[in-house]
Amino acid sequence: MIWNKQAECENRDDRKVKQLYNLKKLVRHVYETIPFYKKKFDDLGVKPDDIKTLADISKLPFTTKDELRETYPYGLLACDKKDVVEIHTSSGTTGTPVLGAYTSNDIKMWGEVMARCLCMAGGTPDDVVQNGYGYGMFTGGLGVHYGSHTLGCNTIPISSGNTKRQLMMMRDFKSTMLTCTPSYSLYMAEQAKEMGIDFKDLSLKAGIFGAEPWSDNMRKEIEEKLNLEAFDIYGLTEIVGPGVSNECQAHNGLHVNEDHFYPEIIDPKTGEVLPEGEKGELVFTTITREGTPIIRYRTRDITWLWHDECSCGRTTVKMHRLLGRTDDMLILRGVNVFPSQIENVLMRIEETEPHYQIVVDRGDSHLDEVELHVEVEPNFFTDETKSLEKIKAKIGAEIKQELGISVIIKLVEPKSIARSEGKAKRVIDKRTL
Amino acid sequence: MKVKQISVFLENKNGRLSEVTRILSEGEISLRAMTIADTADFGILRIIAEQPDKCLELLKQHNFTARVTEVIGVRLDDKPGALHEVMQIFEDNKVNIEYLYSTLMLSDDKVVIMFKVEDIDHGLDIIMQNGMEAITAF
Amino acid sequence: MIGDLYADEELERLDRDALRALQLLRLKKTVEAALLTPFYSKRLKGVGITSAEDIRTLDDVRKIPYTTKDDLREAYPYGLLSVDRSEIVRMHASSGTTGTPTVIYHTQKDLDQWTNMTVRSLRATGCTKEDVFQNMMTYGLFTGGIGLHYGAERLGMLVIPASSGNTTRQFNMMKDFQTTTVHATPSYMLHLYSRMEEMGYSLKDFNLKRALIGAEPHSEEVRQKIEELFDIDAYNSYGLSEMNGPSVAFECTQKKGMHLWEDAYLVETIDRSSLEPVEEGEMGELVLTILIRTGTPILRYRTKDLAAIIPEPCSCGRTSRRITRIKGRTDDMLIINGVNVFPSQIEEVIMKMPGIGTNYLIKVRKEGTLDKLTIHTEVGAELFTDNAQDLHNLRRRIVEELSASITIKAAVELHEPGFLPVQQGKAIRVVDERGSVF
Ligand SMILES: [Zn+2]
Ligand SMILES: [Zn+2]
């Protein structure tokens, strides 16, 4: 089933007319109401009237994550504060978060695009959606939740973690669709074995997996172990959260909900727009957003875009599953982590040196296991195991606070982490996707 | 060849260690070596006694959690480089050392170092093959 | 404008006779829905109720047998479902003593009605669309977070779905978004205060006006302490997932007991041993019938919570009667930092660990302002290996499994034999050292 045939299967020229209309409206609005954008436009000498065709979007300035942080909290708010009904934040590299504000229309739009995604994965109002994304400030949980309600599914807001309960619910309520990170789905498969649950006896037909990079190999493994059809979903808090794009049953690229999120691919070095089919950095403009719309947001994600005549009937542009990042961001257990965040934590702790190495691996559990090797400041070395354990606990707690994930801390001797010339090798990623 | 070491679980609180020494002194147990490994909230006391079985018996009678662990005692000349020699041999033969400590006295002008290794039989073989001396008991 | 005080003036100020007539009407509808469920069709027919017409007056409710938590577990998973599964748009579950959860299904209409109650509750404490609402209750299957979330959005407040924990972030957001209203457990409020200074904040940084507190029993003194420390108003609330969740009863700005929304719930108070009704104003076990839900109708549910109905009308003009704060429980359920836990759930995890057996003691005490769960176990011959790492691993496993099964972060203390009291007769393995909070 297609949730919104009118929008998703529309003739491309007709869609372009609407996109242009919304783009013009947005550009005028942000120019007139947000000093940050006015200044950026003026610096480039571009006026809202210069946008005459969709291609003219390339005249507009980019917006970066750093700028979102600099304008925190309300510098990019495009509506009256009292029209905001919900906010989400995502953590940044330096501790300053990034704000996403939603008006009630934005929440409706979010529910709509997420409902489309569920349908792309074969969802109908008769489905039981077990939503294993975290609820709260993270957009994964509530985004899927709104979409599932919009579609009229039975929503199980189980949130992340508590694997035993996940499996019990899945069995007892015959969940038909599962939403969580791909690695967590494999972890569930392991636990199911221990509990004597066979996925063949469960009712899952589809899984929508995202919030971390994965591969076709992992897809195969997930589909075999969980006995379901696996779909890739893409989204980010800066744009809306989950629901930006999703795979359809043709499993050949992710359909972008481009009537709301206008995508471009650029050369990350020159900023030049690349033609369809070429690999580069993904850029989005949220042409219908009211709370915190964003002009040409540089996602740092690398992929390419193309149109084809998809067997599902949708005419929306497709993006390839993510091919990498233009920065050093790591995705650990679905959480975005910048090595610099870890550095900030270590700087705050006087007992350690800001010399560290992050070792990421996926053990038998299929979940990311993160070890942080830290050098002890020589003055704080004692022969008392107790005080070294205290330092470890302190670092662990601060990292948990900052990143929201638990890491294993290993104290190493001063000067034992290799200093390389130039940029130190901070991350050893042993994960094979 | 293997030496019986008594390991005792101790909570980190005042008076527990002296309780152990009191029991052993009343039981007239002669100690040859001891060491303690501490962590944030508990410690493991390791004892080499002349009468290991009696020592274990006494501690258990007084409600301590104690058990026998087998270790190797290597007798070394009291001279610079002697310890390194045995360490080098262990390293070359991939004998993994979990911990080591020294004894309380010289024996015939020699020192005895206690080794807890991952695979004790392998460790002992290596000691013998290299012409070194492992003690059986005190 | 006095009307501004209410979310739905007509219903909230309905005169008592009309309110009772409405209750009867809704009770009949609820019984009708209940008769469609496998569980109630059998039970109601057993007492001669075969159609809604057998309920003629509100007093006829007493013909219906009580429903207990065990009943709900027995009916798991679908025994209490009264509509076609495709009508269900959400479910919530709470854990039980034995691992079998109790489950509540909601249709879209049920959720709308629930949201009406939460809007009404928020309005009763003075919240308006200008307010910034930071919701510090856990989101997910637990109803505390999502329940008020929808009401606050409907009311047009700015909702920050912070969920529980992460104190630094809570403070950052309270400051950055000038939060006016928070929803949290009373102990978390006290915890926030105790961390404020060391995290570099003072009250001047915030714009806090009120706290909605609930999910754990607390005393009037605790409320006053929260109000004094933060210089705000704190409002008590009551709810349980079997009866939807938060907003069964909520304090109004008078702060003299919680209005139990009687157009949505039929309330009785009974003697816990004779199970006979007690006089209005006397302490008894609360028994509730939900009148606004058809997905999972529940009749005369024994909540195990002790409280009294306050018969006098409230000066705010609302005609729904109030209940006192919850004064205790009739079972051994523990509430640890807002999470309901039965000792048996903890025991199940611990007894599974190799080498522990029944050799443990569970203690709950206050650490600072938060509840702390500590598992004490003796290290006997079966556990001790001469290797410290083995003991660390055991500890880690207990902590991880408890966190997975009851979402509580516990501490594990290892002791020498002789630490635990010698048990005689029925073993007491759970000690609540928090003192009485009721
Ligand atoms: Zn398609
Ligand atoms: Zn009142």
Q: Which domains does chain C have, with CATH numbers?
A: 1-329 (3.40.50.12780), 334-437 (3.30.300.30)
A336 and A320 both lie in a single domain:
no
Tell me C279's DSSP state. P
Q: Is the pLDDT of residue A324 over 90?
A: no
User: Rounded mean pLDDT of A301-316?
Assistant: 96
Task: Give the one of B37, B67, B116 whose C-beta lies nearest to C381's C-beta.
Answer: B67
pLDDT score, position C352: 79
User: Rounded mean pLDDT of A140-166?
Assistant: 93
> How close is the nearest chain A Cα to the Cα of B39, in Å?
5
User: Rounded mean pLDDT of A92-100?
Assistant: 74
How far apart are the C-alpha atoms of C420 and C358, rounded to whole Å? 11
How far apart are the C-alpha atoms of C402 and C336, rounded to whole Å? 13
Q: Which comes out higher in pLDDT, residue C1 or B124?
A: B124
Phi-psi region of A314 (alpha: psi -120 to 50; beta: other; left: phi over 0): beta
Question: Which two structure tokens, joined as six digits, stand for C331?
Answer: 């079972």
The domain that holds A197 is classified in CATH as 3.40.50.12780
- For the four alpha carbons of C108, C110, C115 and C120, in that order, the dihedral sign comes to positive
Give the E-state strand segments of A304-401 in sequence order: 305-306, 318-319, 324-325, 330-332, 335-337, 352-362, 368-376
> Chain centroid to CA A235: how far?
5
Q: Is the pLDDT of residue A24 over 60?
A: yes
The domain that holds A374 is classified in CATH as 3.30.300.30
How far apart are the C-alpha atoms of C248 and C293, rounded to whole Å? 13
Is residue A73 reached through a cis peptide bond, with omega within 30 degrees of 0 on the bond before it? Answer: yes
How far apart are the C-alpha atoms of A55 and A273, rounded to whole Å? 9
* A421 band by pLDDT with thresholds 50, 70 and 90: low
CB contact, 8 Å: C381 with chain B? yes
Q: What angle do CA B96, B102, B104 make, to 5 degrees?
A: 160
Q: Is the pLDDT of residue C309 over 90?
A: yes
Sequence-separated (6 or more) residues with CB below 8 Å from residue C352: C401
pLDDT score, position A381: 66
- Closest CA relative to residue A154, chosen from C87, C145, C36, C298: C87
pLDDT score, position C2: 45
User: For residue A432, with 0-12 CB atoms within 10 Å meaning exposed, 13-18 middle and 19 or more buried, which class applies?
Assistant: exposed
Residue C103 and residue C76 in contact, taking contact as beta carbons nearer than 8 Å = yes
pLDDT score, position C379: 84
A221 and A304 both lie in a single domain:
yes
pLDDT tens, position by position, C182-208: 999 988 898 899 889 988 999 999 999
Ligand approaching nearest to the C-alpha of A117: 1
User: How many angstroms is it from C126 CA to the middle of ligand 2?
Assistant: 12
Question: By mean pLDDT, which of A86-100, A374-388, B29-43, B119-133 is the weakest?
Answer: A374-388
Interchain proximity A389–B39, CB inside 8 Å: yes
User: Rounded mean pLDDT of A139-168?
Assistant: 93
Q: Which residue of C has its CA nearest to B45?
A: C386
> How close is the nearest chain C Cα to the Cα of A158, in Å?
5
Q: What angle do CA C15, C17, C18 make, to 5 degrees?
A: 70
A226 and A304 both lie in a single domain:
yes
User: Rounded mean pLDDT of C219-241?
Assistant: 94
Residue A276 and residue A298 in contact, taking contact as beta carbons nearer than 8 Å = no
Question: By mean pLDDT, which of A108-117, A134-143, C325-334 is the weakest?
Answer: C325-334
Q: Is the pLDDT of residue A120 over 50?
A: yes
* C437 band by pLDDT with thresholds 50, 70 and 90: very low
User: Rounded mean pLDDT of C144-148?
Assistant: 94
Is residue C77 reached through a cis peptide bond, with omega within 30 degrees of 0 on the bond before it? Answer: yes
pLDDT score, position C436: 52
Residue A415 and residue A375 in contact, taking contact as beta carbons nearer than 8 Å = yes
> How close is the nearest chain C Cα to the Cα of B137, in Å?
20
DSSP codes joined into one string, A23-75: HHHHHHHHHHH-HHHHHHHHHHT--GGG--SGGGGGGSPPB-HHHHHHTTTTT
Residue C94 and residue C340 in contact, taking contact as beta carbons nearer than 8 Å = yes
How far apart are the C-alpha atoms of C304 and C285, rounded to whole Å? 6
User: Rounded mean pLDDT of A392-408?
Assistant: 84
User: Rounded mean pLDDT of C226-243?
Assistant: 96
Query: Angle at which helices C343-351 and C388-406 pack, to 10 degrees?
Result: 140
How far apart are the C-alpha atoms of A107 and C430, rounded to whole Å? 46
Q: Is the pLDDT of residue C407 over 80?
A: no
DSSP codes joined into one string, A237-265: TTTTEEEEEEE-TT-SSEEE-TTTEEEEE
How far apart are the C-alpha atoms of A201 and A203, rounded to whole Å? 7
Among A327, A343, A368, residue at a domain's last position: A327
Question: Which two structure tokens, joined as six digits, stand for C215?
Answer: 């999910």
C3, amino acid identity: G
Q: Is the pLDDT of residue A420 over 60?
A: no
Sequence-separated (6 or more) residues with CB below 8 Å from residue A160: A132, A133, A134, A141, A180, A184, A334
DSSP codes joined into one string, B59-75: HHHTT--EEEEEEEEEE
User: For residue C57, with 0-12 CB atoms within 10 Å meaning exposed, 13-18 middle and 19 or more buried, which class applies?
Assistant: exposed
| Coil/strand/helix, residue A355 | strand
User: How many angstroms is it from C271 CA to the middle of ligand 2?
Assistant: 26
pLDDT score, position B17: 85
Among A327, A354, A384, residue at a domain's last position: A327
pLDDT score, position A390: 83
- Measured CA to CA in angstroms, residue A371 lies from A356, A409, A433, C357 at distances of 10, 6, 18, 33
pLDDT score, position A171: 93
Q: What angle do CA B124, B127, B129 make, to 5 degrees?
A: 105
Interchain proximity B40–A384, CB inside 8 Å: no
> How close is the nearest chain A Cα to the Cα of B13, in Å?
13
> How close is the nearest chain A Cα to the Cα of C70, in Å?
18
A308 and A252 both lie in a single domain:
yes
User: Rounded mean pLDDT of A117-128?
Assistant: 97
User: For residue B90, with 0-12 CB atoms within 10 Å meaning exposed, 13-18 middle and 19 or more buried, which class applies?
Assistant: buried
Interchain proximity A135–C139, CB inside 8 Å: yes
Q: Which residue of A has its CA nearest to C78?
A: A173
Question: By mean pLDDT, which of A58-67, A236-245, C389-398 is the weakest?
Answer: C389-398
Q: Is the pLDDT of residue A392 over 80?
A: yes
A338 and A420 both lie in a single domain:
yes
A326, amino acid identity: T
pLDDT score, position B64: 86
CB contact, 8 Å: A423 with chain B? no
Q: Which comes out higher in pLDDT, residue C152 or C327?
A: C152
> How close is the nearest chain B Cα to the Cα of C203, in Å?
36
Phi-psi region of A333 (alpha: psi -120 to 50; beta: other; left: phi over 0): left
* C1 band by pLDDT with thresholds 50, 70 and 90: very low
pLDDT score, position C425: 46
CB contact, 8 Å: C382 with chain B? no
Domain range spanning residue A391? 331-429
CB contact, 8 Å: C391 with chain B? yes
pLDDT tens, position by position, C12-69: 999 999 999 999 999 999 999 999 999 999 999 999 999 999 999 999 999 999 999 9
Q: Is the pLDDT of residue A95 over 70?
A: no
Question: Which two structure tokens, joined as six digits, stand for A58?
Answer: 């390339």
Dihedral angle computed from the Cα positions of residues A335, A337, A343 and A348, in that order, rounded to the nearest 10 degrees: -30
Interchain proximity A136–C92, CB inside 8 Å: no
A407 and A314 both lie in a single domain:
no
Q: Report the half-sphere exposure of B54 (CA within 13 A, side-chain side).
A: 12
Interchain proximity A157–C90, CB inside 8 Å: yes
Mean pLDDT (chain C) is 90
User: Rounded mean pLDDT of C132-140?
Assistant: 95
Interchain proximity C384–B67, CB inside 8 Å: yes
User: How many angstroms is it from A279 CA to the middle of ligand 1?
Assistant: 20
User: For residue A421, with 0-12 CB atoms within 10 Å meaning exposed, 13-18 middle and 19 or more buried, which class applies?
Assistant: exposed
pTM of the model: 0.78
Ligand approaching nearest to the C-alpha of A249: 1
Sequence-separated (6 or more) residues with CB below 8 Å from residue A333: A181, A183, A184, A212, A367, A368, A405
A210 and A305 both lie in a single domain:
yes
Question: Which H or E run includes A102?
Answer: strand A98-103
* C426 band by pLDDT with thresholds 50, 70 and 90: very low
Question: Which two structure tokens, joined as six digits, stand for C277?
Answer: 């009704």
Chain B residues within 8 angstroms (CB to CB) of chain C:
5, 7, 9-11, 16, 37, 39, 41-42, 44, 46, 63-67, 69, 98, 116
User: How many angstroms is it from C55 CA to the middle of ligand 2?
Assistant: 31
Give the E-state strand segments of C65-112 in sequence order: 88-94, 102-107
CB contact, 8 Å: A429 with chain B? no
How far apart are the C-alpha atoms of A365 and A47, rounded to whole Å? 54
Q: Which comes out higher in pLDDT, residue C122 or C168?
A: C122
pLDDT score, position C423: 58
- For the four alpha carbons of C52, C58, C63 and C67, in that order, the dihedral sign comes to positive
pLDDT score, position C211: 98
Question: Which H or E run includes C115?
Answer: helix C108-124
Task: Give B67's contacts in chain C (Cβ within 8 Å).
Answer: 381, 384-386
Residue A243 and residue A259 in contact, taking contact as beta carbons nearer than 8 Å = no
Question: By mean pLDDT, which of A46-60, A408-422, C321-335 is the weakest?
Answer: A408-422
Residues with CB in 5 Å of ion ligand 1:
A 248, 250, 310, 312, 314
A385 and A315 both lie in a single domain:
no
- For the four alpha carbons of B20, B23, B27 and B28, in that order, the dihedral sign comes to positive
> How close is the nearest chain C Cα to the Cα of B40, in Å?
10
Domains of chain B: residue spans and CATH: 3-69 (3.30.2130.10), 70-134 (3.30.70.260)
Task: Give C355's contacts in chain B (Cβ within 8 Å).
Answer: none
Cα diameter, chain A: 73
Q: How many other CB atoms are there within 10 angstroms of residue C249's CB atom?
A: 30
pLDDT score, position C96: 55
Sequence-separated (6 or more) residues with CB below 8 Å from residue A30: A37, A78, A293, A295
Task: Give A390's contacts in chain B (Cβ within 8 Å).
Answer: 40
How far apart are the C-alpha atoms of C342 and C346, rounded to whole Å? 7
Q: Is the pLDDT of residue C430 over 80?
A: no
A364 and A321 both lie in a single domain:
no
Q: Which comes out higher in pLDDT, residue A346 or A277?
A: A277
Residue B37 — φ and ψ, nearest 5°? -110, 125
Interchain proximity B67–C416, CB inside 8 Å: no
Count structural domains, chain A: 2
A100, amino acid identity: G
Task: Give C161's contacts in chain A (Cβ within 8 Å).
Answer: 86, 88, 135-137, 142
DSSP codes joined into one string, A126-184: T-EEEE-SPPSSSHHHHHHHHHHHHHTPEEE---S--HHHHHHHHHHTT--EEEE-HHH
A116 and A175 both lie in a single domain:
yes
Ligand approaching nearest to the C-alpha of A247: 1
pLDDT score, position C21: 95
How far apart are the C-alpha atoms of C227 and A346, rounded to whole Å? 37
pLDDT score, position A94: 56
A195 and A336 both lie in a single domain:
no
Ligand approaching nearest to the C-alpha of C126: 2
CB contact, 8 Å: A364 with chain B? no
Q: Is the pLDDT of residue C178 over 70?
A: yes
- Measured CA to CA in angstroms, residue A399 lies from A89, A266, A371, A404 at distances of 18, 34, 12, 7
A269 and A395 both lie in a single domain:
no
Chain C residues within 8 angstroms (CB to CB) of chain A:
76-77, 85-86, 88-93, 101, 103, 105, 108, 129-130, 139-141, 145-146, 153, 156-163, 166, 168-169, 172-173, 176-177, 404-405, 407
User: For residue A137, with 0-12 CB atoms within 10 Å meaning exposed, 13-18 middle and 19 or more buried, which class applies?
Assistant: buried
Q: What angle do CA A362, C351, B38 make, to 5 degrees?
A: 65
- Compute the residue count for chain B: 138
The residue to which tokens 């978004």 are assigned: C177
CB contact, 8 Å: A389 with chain B? yes
